[in-house]
Amino acid sequence: MLRRLLLLCLTTLLMAVLAEPWVQVAVHSDWPKTVKNVLFLLPLAGSAIVVGYEHRWREFGTRIDVLLAVLAATMVLSGLLGAVPMVVVGKALYVYLRGVIVFYAIRALKPSRQWIRVMLWSVGIWAGINSVIALAQVAIGPPAYRVFGWTDLSAASIHRAQGLFDHPNDLGHLTGLALLGVLAVSSASWAGWHRWAAAGLFATGLAASQSRESLLGVAVGAAVIAARRRLPMRKLVAAVLVVVAMAATPIVAMPGVRTEVVRRVWGVSDAIGLPIGHGRPQPDPNLPVCGPPSPEPKQDGIPGSPCRQLKPEREIRILYAQQGFSLLAARPLLGYGVGTFGGIVALEHDPRWHQHPRLGPGGFDLFGFHGKTVDSFWLHLIVEVGVIGFACYLLWLAGLARRVRRSPWALACIAFGVVIAVFSPALEGPLVPPLLFAVIGIAMQPPGAPLRVDEGPFLTTAGDISCINARTASERLLAG
């Protein structure tokens, strides 16, 4: 009975992770976030009870478990040396590692094949629904955003779809993970049009989000799948070309998207300091000079009155990285303390974290950017916990990758997470970690367990299941 209740909590948690942004907008309250946090803690406590009752503690003393313990200890040590309050250290550990709760819950509860199949189908259906909504948002414009309750239409003003999420990148992350799952399928029943229809739907949602980090992550993940499957080089090149075409379609089809891409390209050039200026489009000198950016989001999806910038608009991520590495040089080993620099916890604990004396007399310059966090997960992780903590995190991920090396989808998801974390705080966000570690947890099920991810995430027919059972039995027979 306890196991069933915990699986119900885990199911509700994964559904809450997917639906929370839209539910919060619909109810105009933060109680969904509170419910989600409770749902994280219940499987954690319940799984510990199950493991203790069944005397299975030795199963959780593997190399990856030791690496995780070392990572957590390193984070705590960085907080102690950085004079960070223990409450902040505790919150930071929870935010950084809450996705691992799903991983350990799946290992402890060993869910059935039916539960896994239902969960994967549910996530896939939600990704498909969001892909359809995203296509409508790109085609129709602001009305397709308002109908779902979104009032901040800044994404609509640059033709980026967000589906039922509060940021287009979240849509890109979900559809990217789902697309990699479809590409990793090897089940015979999914070798035909079903597979390609699902792949096309998820690819449409990914392209509509214009999440460039997700597109890059999918390209890397697809390369991992191709290498694991030992596919011919021509198929790998074809897959990469498809991803490039997905990225190029909105740019070719929409002038507004082209303008935004050009602006970002010049921003990267100016931030790096490349001596390029002859091809830059010049603003209309008759336009008024732009004032400081408004801290409030636009409510009508209209960019506002045209204006011209006196200074080049430099890419903010590069400017942050340049400052971040300068700060790291002063405290390279264990950083400034977990939960103090540019993350969710730092902002919650101190909205003026960037002006803290620990960062020097000038603090950390946000360059007038309306966001108050550092978008790169890897950047604020290495500044907070130093090179030692950063190395511990990478070693832990490498240990996970080694354990799931037989699962193309799990390996591709890890690669996807590493890539998107360069450009966003996704690995500490509420969406990606639970989904990522759910896939890894399923992939770590022992032979003969409910479902192996490398056999494909969308097994539905009795033929699929009997085929796997027969092959598992034959493998055991041959093994002696």
- Range with the poorest average pLDDT among 208-217, 295-304, 372-381, 461-470: 461-470
Predicted pLDDT at 238: 74
| Residue that wins the pLDDT comparison between 124 and 477 | 124
Find, among 340, 365, 431, the residue nearest to 91 by Cα: 340
| In a domain? residue 31 | yes
| In a domain? residue 238 | yes
Instruction: Indicate the number of domains in the chain.
Output: 1
Is it the case that residue 89 has pLDDT exceeding 90? yes
Predicted pLDDT at 445: 77
| In a domain? residue 455 | yes
Q: Which domain holds residue 452?
A: 2-254+375-466
Predicted pLDDT at 451: 43
Predicted pLDDT at 101: 95
Find, among 124, 130, 112, the residue nearest to 183 by Cα: 124
| In a domain? residue 160 | yes
Average pLDDT over residues 228-253: 74
| Residue that wins the pLDDT comparison between 238 and 191 | 238
| In a domain? residue 350 | no
Find, among 181, 199, 214, 201, the residue nearest to 133 by Cα: 201
Average pLDDT over residues 211-219: 91
pLDDT tens digit string along 154-166? 888 888 999 999 9
pLDDT tens digit string along 3-24? 889 999 999 999 999 999 999 8
| Residue that wins the pLDDT comparison between 419 and 450 | 419
Is it the case that residue 235 has pLDDT exceeding 80? no
- pLDDT band of residue 343 (cuts 50, 70, 90) is confident
Average pLDDT over residues 444-468: 44
- What percent of the chain is modeled with pLDDT above 90? 44
Q: Which H helix or E strand runs over 106?
A: helix 99-109
- Range with the poorest average pLDDT among 108-122, 236-250, 304-318: 304-318
- Count of Cβ atoms closer than 10 Å to residue 154 Cβ: 17
Please provide the DSSP assignment of 397-438 as one string: HHHHHHHTTT-HHHHHHHHHHHHHHHHS-GGGSSSHHHHHHH
- Range with the poorest average pLDDT among 160-164, 354-358, 456-460: 456-460
pLDDT tens digit string along 253-301? 766 666 666 666 655 555 555 555 545 555 555 555 455 554 443 433 3
Predicted pLDDT at 364: 86
Q: Are the beta carbons of 214 and 420 closer than 8 angstroms?
A: yes
Is it the case that residue 448 has pLDDT exceeding 70? no
Predicted pLDDT at 453: 42
| In a domain? residue 479 | no
Predicted pLDDT at 280: 55
Task: Write b or e for each residue in 88-125: b if 16 or more Cβ atoms lie within 10 A of its Cβ, otherwise e.
Answer: bbebbbebbbbbbbbbbbbbbbbbeeebbbebbeebbe
pLDDT tens digit string along 410-419? 999 999 999 9
Average pLDDT over residues 31-48: 90
Predicted pLDDT at 266: 53
| Residue that wins the pLDDT comparison between 189 and 170 | 170
For residue 394, CA distances in Å to 67, 71, 306, 381 come to 10, 10, 45, 11
| In a domain? residue 473 | no
Supply the mean pLDDT for the chain. 81
Please provide the DSSP assignment of 263-297 as one string: HHHHHHHHHHT----TTPPPPPTTSPBP-PPPSSP
Average pLDDT over residues 69-75: 97
Residue indicated by tokens 């903590």: 389
Is it the case that residue 25 has pLDDT exceeding 60? yes
Distance from C-alpha of 479 to C-alpha of 65, rounded to nearest angstrom? 29
| In a domain? residue 472 | no
Predicted pLDDT at 312: 53
Average pLDDT over residues 391-409: 94
Is it the case that residue 234 has pLDDT exceeding 80? no
The DSSP secondary-structure symbol of 323 reads H
Bridge partners for 420 per DSSP: none
